[in-house]
Amino acid sequence: MEAHGRTSTRRALLRSGAYLATAATGLTAAAATTTTAHADDRRRRAAAAYPPTHWIPASTSNYRVSSRPTSYPIDFVVIHVTQETFPDAMKIFQDPAKQVSAHYMVASADGYIGQFVREKDVAWHAGNKDYNNRSIGIEHEGWVDDPKWFTDEMYASSAALTAAVCDRFGIPKTRDHIIGHVEVPGTDHTDPGPLWDWPRYMSLVNKAYAPGMRRTWRRWRA
């Protein structure tokens, strides 16, 4: 996670999905104002066989509206680790003072995917304007020094998402184009860290086939 203008506070709170259902319900009115545009986006995404996602919009102060890939080509997927729980990272994305966001975030326990910024728009996640313009940012709930957060469900769900993004935008499914935040030029971040299993992840990306997925996606409850 990368602040656009200032660094977000890191808070090591207990792992919990308790806040999500309440917060997502509170966003219903805001989400309704963008129903038509988001429906169009879903139709385009369906052709690329995306896994199930839930729309949880970030503050409009935390990303830049654009028209990618017309305005900028999309060449990279950037893999992040939140250093926060999912609920806390969600609050950061919704706080207009934080100046940070990502397109997606994947939960540890069951691979639940929240989408916070549309792919056509520029999320502020990489700490490098050029890479922000040309990438999709995917956050993963957890901490870089604690591998128990990197569950089978998280790897599988994230890999299916990354594969769909790559298919949609013609991004090669290679480590030259699917990169860690640490690999973005000029960054001072270390995520996803040495405990992220890149060989396993890339194998899953290249084997992913979302249309045949019959997984049970747990709902977040208070």
Span 116-138, pLDDT tens digits: 999 999 999 999 999 999 999 99
On average, the pLDDT of the chain sits at 82
Strands (E), 23-180: 54-55, 63-64, 76-79, 104-106, 113-115, 122-123, 135-140, 178-180
Cα separation values, 55 from 39, 90, 188, Å: 11, 12, 29
Neighbours of 6 (CB within 10 A): 10
Q: Which amino acid is at 190?
A: T
Active site residues: 139
Span 147-159, pLDDT tens digits: 999 999 999 999 9
β-bridge mates for residue 77, sequence order: 136, 178
Rounded to an integer, the average pLDDT of 8-35 is 41
Res 42 pLDDT > 70? no
